[in-house]
Every structure is written in structure tokens, then in C-alpha cells.
Amino acid sequence: MSYTQPTLLKRKKMRPTWHLHKAQTIGYIRALHEGVDATNCTAHIVTLFPEQASPKHTYSGEVTIFHLEGQVEFKFDTGSFELERYDMLFIPANTPYEYFNIGQGPAALLSIVGKYQEWPAKGTYLD
């Protein structure tokens, strides 16, 4: 949702949607909660169930991940990072990545995609 004035989104009122690529396919079950689409960034909470992952993808914008809960591993062509609660991960624009819930319970991430060269940033799935 796009906002033009200061706005508070209460987590208890956010409802997950299942429109992410392959979101209801076994192995890729994950949800995107209502977030903010601003002038130069978007911010959303992503929920990932145990043993689920994202397809490999990129964004034309810079991505910052703030890890909220659970155990998540991000994989890149150059290596991987296992995030702990409250870790932040910066992903440069056009960098292919995928992430996996490697824990026993649900995981949640705050995903912020910022403007790099074009806006809005375009996401591209690679599989």
C-alpha cells in the first residue's frame, strides 16, 4: 500500500497474503504481509514456514534484510550467510539470491528494497 503521510502499521492488524512467486507450492510456502510502498523503497514482513524456501531471484534495487525470528540461511553465488535474530543483511542490486528456513519453527524477515537506478525496483525470479 502506498502512503503519503506518516503511517503506523500495527503488526497485529497485518494479514499475510500469498501472492509471492510459487507461494503455495510445496518447498516455497511463504507469505508477504501488508507493508509500505514509498517513493524510494518498499518494506514488508516475509513469513517463511519450516523447511520452506524462496525461489532464486534478484531485485533491480538494493535489498536490506532485518531478521526478526527463526533460523534463515541466505545463499548467493559467492557463498551463504546464516542469520541470527536481529542480524541485518545488505544485498546489492541485481545480486541473485535465495533463502531457506533451516529451523524448526516459522521465520520472519523485514525486507526493504530501496531505489538503485530505477524505481520501482523490479523483482526477477530465476527458476
Q: Is residue 31 included in any domain, yes or no?
A: yes
Say if residues 5 and 40 touch (Cβ distance below 8 Å). no
Cα maximum dimension of the chain: 40
pTM for the whole structure: 0.86
* Per-residue pLDDT band at 3 (split at 50, 70, 90): low
What domain range is 104 assigned to? 15-125
Say if residues 120 and 42 touch (Cβ distance below 8 Å). yes
φ, ψ of residue 12 to 5 degrees: the values are -65, -20
Q: Are strands 16-17 and 72-76 parallel, antiparallel or unpaired?
A: unpaired
Provide the 3-class DSSP secondary structure of residue 54: coil
pLDDT of residue 31: 86
Average pLDDT, stretch 82-86?
95
* Alpha helices (H) along 56-107: none
Q: Is residue 22 included in any domain, yes or no?
A: yes
Q: Is residue 54 included in any domain, yes or no?
A: yes
Domains contained in the chain, number: 1
Q: Is residue 8 included in any domain, yes or no?
A: no
What's the CATH code of the domain at 61? 2.60.120.10
